[in-house]
Amino acid sequence: MTESPLALPIVHPPRGRLPVLLSVPHAGRDYPDWLIAEARHGLKSLQPLEDPFVDRLVWRALGHGVGAVIAATPRAAVDCNRAEDEVDPALVPGFRNAPPSVRARGGLGIVPSRTLAHGHLWRRRLSNAALDRRLETAYRPYHAALERQLADLAGTFGCALLLDCHSMPPSKCGASVVFGDRYGRSAAPWLMSAAVDIAKESGFVASVNDPFAGGHILDRHAAPQSGVHAIQVEIDRRCYLTAQGEPGAQFDAIADLLESLTVGLGELLLDRRLAAAAE
């Protein structure tokens, strides 16, 4: 079967007063026929890799004119929150890199290779050329769009905040919202503290870096020493989905939370920047 190109990310240019950019890397649902045909167990084995409907949860925040980069290509084809060398050597034979990461060895590299529920996902191994096509058509445009928009925000406002939006299964820590900052490396402590306060004021239990501290998107794009901060936001799926995986009663409440984070953190960052410039 001829491979049609993977879908480009959906890009919303910033057009408002807030120095905030939203990233949604795992909600893509544009499955080409050839990708489904390559799956041992069909579409049902690929969909659980999604962060369901997170692209829809950000709609209230987008109403404030902030920028966004949203993956249309599904995570099963290429994971935009992994480094290019996070490759499972069992899936891409001959790929030359440093020792694979724990995630790649566990099947959740830049192209997921297996899951606990379905075992090995693909009918055959992936060539280096096929991997590079996925990177070139979907992965690299995603990161290029993030880089471009963050640079534009930093140039306009002197600062920027990237909110990388995800969903998660129930966590052992009991939190319904988890904020990650790579253990203090990707965002200022006062921004993280404010994020937790906003979540609590909205009625949600929040934790920091437990069990998720953020991934490659934060590592690659955050530069807090230069005024570019990045926070990963993980939402417990039970907060907005029914048992059947459809939008539930609290869907709007989570959309409100993401809106409050976008506005509250964006205004705080801008106020801090303006105060520093006035000193």
Percent of the chain with pLDDT over 90: 88
For 117-167, write each residue's pLDDT tens digit.
Answer: 999 999 999 999 999 999 999 999 999 999 999 999 999 999 999 999 999
Asked whether the predicted pLDDT for residue 279 surpasses 80, the reply is no
d(CA 182, CA 174): 20
Q: What is the average pLDDT value for the chain, to the nearest integer?
A: 95
SS3 string, 191-235, reads HHHHHHHHHHHCCCCEEECCCCCCCHHHHHHCEHHHCEEEEEEEE
Residue 9, amino acid: P
User: What's 39's DSSP letter?
Assistant: B
Please report the pLDDT score of residue 18 as a whole number: 98
Cβ within 8 Å of residue 85, ≥6 positions away: 97, 98
**For 27-41, 95-109, 167-181, which range has the lowest pLDDT when averaged over its residues?**
95-109
Cα distances from 88 to residues 71, 127, 134, in angstroms, run: 22, 12, 15
Over range 24-43, report the average pLDDT. 97
Q: How confident is the model at residue 94 (pLDDT cuts 50, 70, 90)?
A: confident
Please report the pLDDT score of residue 277 as a whole number: 72
How many Cα atoms occupy the beta-carbon half-sphere of 147 within 13 Å?
A: 8
Buried b (16+ CB within 10 A) or exposed e, 210-247: eebbbbbbbeebbebeebbbbbbbbbbbebbbeeeeeb
112: Cα separation from own chain's centroid:
15
Please report the pLDDT score of residue 246 as a whole number: 94
Percent of the chain with pLDDT over 70: 97
Asked whether the predicted pLDDT for residue 261 surpasses 80, the reply is yes
Give me the CATH topology for the region 10-31+52-75+136-278.
Aminopeptidase (3.40.630)
Greater confidence (244 vs 277) lies with 244
Asked whether the predicted pLDDT for residue 196 surpasses 70, the reply is yes
Please report the pLDDT score of residue 3 as a whole number: 81
Asked whether the predicted pLDDT for residue 102 surpasses 90, the reply is no
251-278 and 189-201 are packed helices; what angle lies between their axes, rounded to 10 degrees?
150
The torsion angles phi and psi of 154, rounded to 5 degrees, stand at -65, -35
Tokens for 154?
């930093």
Asked whether the predicted pLDDT for residue 68 surpasses 90, the reply is yes
d(CA 48, CA 51): 8
Over range 254-279, report the average pLDDT. 92
SS percent in the chain: helix, strand, coil, step 5: 40, 15, 45
Domain ranges (residues) in the chain: 10-31+52-75+136-278
Please report the pLDDT score of residue 162 as a whole number: 98
Q: How confident is the model at residue 98 (pLDDT cuts 50, 70, 90)?
A: low
Please report the pLDDT score of residue 93 as a whole number: 87
Asked whether the predicted pLDDT for residue 1 surpasses 60, the reply is no
User: What's 180's DSSP letter?
Assistant: E
